[in-house]
Amino acid sequence: MMHVGRAAALPTCACLWEASILPVFRSLKSTILWLFIPIITVFVLVTGTISFILASQQLKDNAFMNLNDTIAQTKSLLSDKLTAFIAELIGLENSSQWVSIMNRPDGSSASLEPEDYIFLNKALDAYFERYAMLDSVLFYYDEGRVSLYKRNSSGSSVNISLDAYSSKLEDDRLSVIKWLNIHDEVELDTQQVVSVYRMFGKNKSQTNGIFMMNIKGRFFSDLLNNAKISTNGYLCIVSNDGVMSFKNVAAKYDLDEADLQDELLARESPSGEFSMKSNAGQPLLVVYDTLSLNKWKIAAIVPQNELFNKVNSIGLVIVSVMLLVIIVAIALSNVVAHMITKPLTKLTQRVNRIEEGNLVFGINKFPSNEIGVLSRGIQEMMRRIQHLINEVEEVQEKKRSAELAVLQSQIKPHFLYNTLYSIKQLCEMEESKDAGEMVAALSNFYRISINKGSEIIPISQEMEHIKHYLCIQQMRYRDDFIYEIDIDPDVLVCNIVKLTLQPLVENAIYHGIKQKRGQGLIRIVGRLNNHEVTLWVEDNGSGMSVEDVEAMNAALRSGEPGSGVAGFGIQNVNKRLQLNYGKEFGLHYHNRQGGGIVVSVVIPSYE
């Protein structure tokens, strides 16, 4: 009766406790969602914004750099061509024959002599050969008495007005070389040329000659149009007497050339950038530089929306990616929260059922969610589980020690039987001296194998143990086999499970060398690599088939003594290694190149 009354009272208390916490209870799933989603959203927005700012700034810098590089390259090429061109002009004027022609007195006697025509023709023909951009050359002097006009290497005389050219000079200095932007040279019947000339005479109002060269407009159009800027971006050359531009753009990007000319010529800085608007109100960016040769300005005009279209594109991509990441994050948060809370909810129900079994808990203050419920149940279960784990570990350790002792006892009689049998054979053959030596070797062998009961010994002792064993076997088989030992010094100081190599050497003799005609070889090699010691025992005996080798390795992996083709002793050696070092260590067989078998022993170096 008392027991029934207590059982009835417990659910009532539990209900009251649950009712007391219901108003503040928040599920773990909702907590995860309320925490993770805002954090992920803020993180994505901040990261995306910073990425956009950095990327857009880099793209803008790259766009300006590309524009400046384009202008610089165009300027360099144009300066090189025109400078060389002017240098040729100056060189011609400084020649002795030219000076002789120019120093003749005015009047009819100043007409050209035949040798003068030959000189001028050769000099001007050389210009046409060197400069494909040259359209025509004019030398006009002393009211036409000296007149030579060459175009496409064909010469003729012309009659022009010098006032039309002297009026374009900025001052009275006739020595200054004058440049004319692209125009039609009406008096010389040539179109779309850039002219460069120099006049002769006392001053601007008293000129008596001109030497002029005309450059094809196609040279400039090719140069300016080859620059790739944008769909509606282009290069132009601006001077006091005009604007040179060859690219057709969309109507909304048309720009008044007079406004562009005024704006550029008003700039005091030789290079820079500024903004303008097209006739349709579209914002344009103008980047310019100045030719030092004639002070012409090379300008790049680019619509700003084309210049920064990559910025707009990357902005759209970043916004799209941010939205996608936020949506995926919300979906994944919901999935992860469900995955986390579903098993916890089930476990909570199990814990509640355990609580109904009248278990006594030392309850402190717990969070009002699934974790709090789980903690109350786990607190007592952990104490009991820990006690059980300690018991299991103690039992397992005893079991392991017993198994090692059994395995060790299984190996020793097996070895002793084979050794005593060898001594017996020597005694029967009345080889008492050899038998005595073999007995001495056997006593040393067992002295090391007993080793005060130690299961783990240094590899140096194991090798001494093997040398005694090989001495015994060599005395038995005489010259039937020889052996080699090649162990690194670093390997000798490492530890190994006692009696690991002796069964392998024994197998090599009885199943390898003994079945071979001629002298056999047993070789033991030891190396240290990446905190692992590898020992190889190899023989040049009759060997095994590929199928038998695979069966041997499979038997070693199975861990069942006597299974497959693996002998009892080999299985025990492998089992002892794995009990001490783990399943990833132990023995492995493979065929030796040239015949025979190689057994590898892999153990950790820290043991």
Separation between Cα atoms, residue 588 and residue 352, nearest integer Å: 52
Name the least confident of 19-23, 287-291, 517-521.
19-23
User: Where do the CATH 3.30.450.20 domains begin and end in the chain?
Assistant: 95-220, 229-307
- Angle (nearest 5°) at CA 116 between 111 and 122: 140
Separation between Cα atoms, residue 563 and residue 298, nearest integer Å: 91
Separation between Cα atoms, residue 214 and residue 210, nearest integer Å: 13
- Angle (nearest 5°) at CA 232 between 229 and 237: 65
For the segment 257-315, what is each residue's pLDDT rounded down to a tens digit? 899 999 999 988 999 989 999 999 999 999 999 998 888 999 999 988 877 776 677 77
Separation between Cα atoms, residue 257 and residue 186, nearest integer Å: 23
| Residue 560: predicted pLDDT | 64
Task: Inform me whether the pLDDT recorded for 406 exceeds 50.
Answer: no
Task: Inform me whether the pLDDT recorded for 2 exceeds 50.
Answer: no
| Residue 374: predicted pLDDT | 62
For the segment 438-477, what is each residue's pLDDT rounded down to a tens digit? 788 778 777 766 665 577 889 998 899 898 888 877 877 7
* Confidence bin at 405 (pLDDT 50/70/90): low
Task: Inform me whether the pLDDT recorded for 236 exceeds 50.
Answer: yes
Separation between Cα atoms, residue 82 and residue 76, nearest integer Å: 10
| CATH 3.30.450.20, domain 95-220, yes or no | yes
| Residue 235: predicted pLDDT | 92
Task: Inform me whether the pLDDT recorded for 13 exceeds 70.
Answer: no
| Residue 353: predicted pLDDT | 57
| Residue 603: predicted pLDDT | 93
Choice between 403 and 5, residue whose per-residue pLDDT is larger: 403
Task: Inform me whether the pLDDT recorded for 434 exceeds 90.
Answer: no
Q: Are strands 520-529 and 481-487 parallel, antiparallel or unpaired?
A: parallel
User: Where do the CATH 3.30.565.10 domains begin and end in the chain?
Assistant: 394-604
Which phi and psi (to 5°) does residue 457 adopt?
-130, 160
Contacts of 440 (CB under 8 A, 6+ apart): none
**CATH for the 394-604 domain, from 3.30.565.10, 3.40.50.720, 3.40.50.150, 3.40.50.1390:** 3.30.565.10
| Residue 17: predicted pLDDT | 39
| Residue 604: predicted pLDDT | 93
| Residue 233: predicted pLDDT | 87
| Residue 53: predicted pLDDT | 81
- Looking at residues 513-537, what average pLDDT do you find? 89
- Looking at residues 363-373, what average pLDDT do you find? 58
Q: Where do we find the tokens 């496409």?
A: 152
DSSP state of 512: I
Name the least confident of 7-21, 34-48, 157-171.
7-21
| Residue 361: predicted pLDDT | 47
**CATH for the 229-307 domain, from 3.30.450.20, 3.40.50.1980, 3.20.20.100, 3.40.50.2020:** 3.30.450.20
* Confidence bin at 11 (pLDDT 50/70/90): very low
Task: Inform me whether the pLDDT recorded for 47 exceeds 90.
Answer: no
The mean pLDDT value of the chain amounts to 78
For the segment 469-504, what is each residue's pLDDT rounded down to a tens digit? 888 778 777 778 889 999 999 999 999 988 889 889
Task: Inform me whether the pLDDT recorded for 426 exceeds 80.
Answer: no
